[in-house]
């Protein structure tokens, strides 16, 4: 059996670099060594691209992605590696926003995950809401700027960031100015959302078009504040303010509604490969979209692999299906 040459891009030069490295480590543990020949491509915090021995390696050889393949600098000359597929295990800016996806398309290299347009739409929370609303899905009331008279509390967010970086819950008008300053550290475009009363429910989705697989739903149980596990000091040993209930302890009717809503959102935004659709389930039983993560965390404590595992798919199984989808357009 011919091994698939898979390039795994990880790291990145922005705030989600550490999360990406942790995700890549879990991918390394889950890759079937009899099926894949991995090439670990690390983007350093400074923006350099290096071919490393693995996600834990510090040093590596300079590399460049090109239409000819992966060019590896060795002794003043470039060695060319023709990759079969690339897995961009990157979170946040220049990872989930379509930038890397555009580079891979220009190079003509098949890749795992959403395409340029879908990645860009899902990265910008305001655009996500516009598309979801047009598809008939409820979203929070929101503003892309400073609202005149919102109903507090509100959440102030960078429009294009992830893992809750730059997010502040604001309870009074006096707190709004500082929250806007914090959000602008991550993105000049700001989204202000009215808070939604309800529990946060996640749905892991795998596939493309009509051929979709969903994992078991999870519910984020908060003791205080809001969900921001990737910013905590030791999330591997447990969150400071949240726990995960998998499968989510909701009714069968609500479960079906959440899963169907997630599929509607996924398709409306043009997602493919994988995504985690986060929603609120209100006390009245309605579903309100929160956000869509086109490359959700794959760490040991992340929600996506946990939901898929509860549905009987290990991370290794998920990777196999993603590679098949990237190479053939079909889930296997």
The rounded distance, in Å, linking the Cα atoms of 317 and 332 is 10
Q: Which of 50, 91, 93, 157 is catalytic?
A: 91
Q: Which of 160, 230, 263, 303 is catalytic?
A: 230
CA distances from 305 to 127, 299, 330 (A): 26, 8, 20
Cis preceding-peptide flag for 153 (omega within 30 of 0): yes
Q: Among this protein's residues, is 91 annotated catalytic?
A: yes
Q: Among this protein's residues, is 230 annotated catalytic?
A: yes
Q: Among this protein's residues, is 22 annotated catalytic?
A: yes
Q: Which of 42, 93, 276, 303 is catalytic?
A: 276
Q: What is the DSSP pairing of strand 154-158 with strand 142-143?
A: unpaired
Specify whether the CB–CB gap between 271 and 114 falls below 8 A.
yes
Q: Which of 297, 304, 321, 323 is catalytic?
A: 297
The rounded distance, in Å, linking the Cα atoms of 199 and 244 is 12
Q: Which of 22, 93, 125, 255 is catalytic?
A: 22
Q: Which of 77, 236, 312, 332 is catalytic?
A: 236
Q: Among this protein's residues, is 263 annotated catalytic?
A: no
Q: Among this protein's residues, is 236 annotated catalytic?
A: yes
Q: Among this protein's residues, is 19 annotated catalytic?
A: yes
Q: Which of 111, 129, 301, 304 is catalytic?
A: 301
Element (DSSP H or E) covering residue 63: strand 61-66
Work out the widest C-alpha separation in the chain, in whole angstroms.
66
The rounded distance, in Å, linking the Cα atoms of 278 and 283 is 17
Specify whether the CB–CB gap between 313 and 252 falls below 8 A.
no
The rounded distance, in Å, linking the Cα atoms of 184 and 197 is 26
Q: Is 132 exposed, middle or buried (0-12, 13-18, 19+ CB in 10 A)?
A: buried
Q: Among this protein's residues, is 170 annotated catalytic?
A: no
The rounded distance, in Å, linking the Cα atoms of 126 and 5 is 37
Task: Work out the number of other CB atoms within 10 angstroms of the CB of residue 158.
Answer: 23
Q: Which of 7, 16, 19, 216 is catalytic?
A: 19
Is residue 163 classed as helix, strand or coil in its secondary structure?
A: coil
The rounded distance, in Å, linking the Cα atoms of 71 and 140 is 46
Positions marked catalytic: 19, 22, 91, 230, 236, 276, 297, 301
């Amino acid at each position: 059996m011919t091994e698939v040459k898979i390039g795994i891009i990880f790291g990145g030069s922005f705030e989600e670099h550490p999360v990406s490295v942790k995700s890549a480590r879990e991918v390394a543990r889950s890759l079937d060594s009899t099926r894949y020949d991995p090439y670990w491509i690390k983007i350093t915090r400074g923006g350099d691209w290096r071919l490393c021995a693995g996600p834990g390696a510090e040093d590596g050889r300079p590399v460049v992605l090109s239409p000819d393949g992966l060019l590896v600098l060795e002794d003043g000359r470039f060695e060319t590696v023709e990759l079969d597929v690339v897995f961009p295990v990157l979170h946040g800016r220049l990872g989930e926003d379509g930038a890397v996806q555009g580079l891979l398309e220009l190079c003509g290299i098949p890749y795992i995950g959403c395409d340029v347009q879908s990645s860009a739409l899902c990265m910008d929370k305001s655009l996500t809401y516009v598309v979801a609303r047009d598809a008939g899905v409820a979203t929070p009331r929101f503003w892309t700027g400073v609202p005149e008279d919102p109903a507090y509390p509100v959440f102030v967010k960078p429009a294009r960031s992830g893992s809750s970086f730059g997010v502040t819950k604001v309870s009074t008008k006096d707190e709004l100015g500082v929250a806007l300053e914090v959000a602008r550290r991550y993105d000049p475009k700001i989204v202000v959302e009215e808070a939604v009363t309800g529990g946060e429910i996640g749905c892991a989705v795998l596939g493309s078009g009509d051929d979709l697989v969903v994992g078991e739903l999870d519910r984020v149980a908060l003791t205080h504040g809001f969900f921001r596990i990737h910013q905590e000091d030791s999330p591997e040993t447990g969150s400071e303010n949240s726990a995960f209930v998998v499968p989510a302890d909701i009714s069968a009717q609500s479960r079906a509604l959440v899963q169907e809503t997630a599929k509607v959102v996924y398709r409306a935004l043009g997602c493919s490969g994988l995504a985690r659709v986060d929603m609120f389930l209100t006390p009245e039983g309605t579903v309100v979209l929160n956000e869509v993560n086109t490359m959700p965390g794959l760490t040991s404590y992340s929600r996506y692999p946990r939901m898929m595992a509860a549905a009987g798919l290990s991370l290794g199984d998920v990777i196999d299906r993603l590679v098949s989808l990237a190479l053939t357009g079909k889930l296997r």
